[in-house]
Amino acid sequence: MTTKTVSLTDAQKRISELLTFTLKGNEVIIAENDKQLVRITPVSKKSRIAGLNKGKIWMSNDFDKPLSDDFWAGSK
């Protein structure tokens, strides 16, 4: 990961370029008067864990049964 430090004024002028830079896995620090104000980094993708909710979700046996005409008419 490469880090680029830019001034607040420069960041305002080059925001599109800086966002493209961060989306490639890099980091941008916006500073003013040699004081770091903001760090922009790409959002890390959370890994999914297979089987994490096993047994917590169920589907009714009649899940794919056609709905009655009363349901579609708004009666039920």
Look up residue 16 and give its DSSP letter.
Answer: H
What residues does each domain of the chain span? 1-42
Look up residue 8 and give its DSSP letter.
Answer: H
Which residue stretches of the chain are H helix? 8-13, 15-23, 69-73
Q: State the CB neighbour count (10 A cutoff) for residue 43.
A: 7
Q: What is the pLDDT of residue 76?
A: 55
Stretches where the chain sits below pLDDT 50 are none
Q: What is the pLDDT of residue 37?
A: 97
The pTM assigned to this predicted structure is 0.58
CATH architecture of the domain with residue range 1-42? 3-Layer(aba) Sandwich (3.40)
Q: What is the pLDDT of residue 31?
A: 97
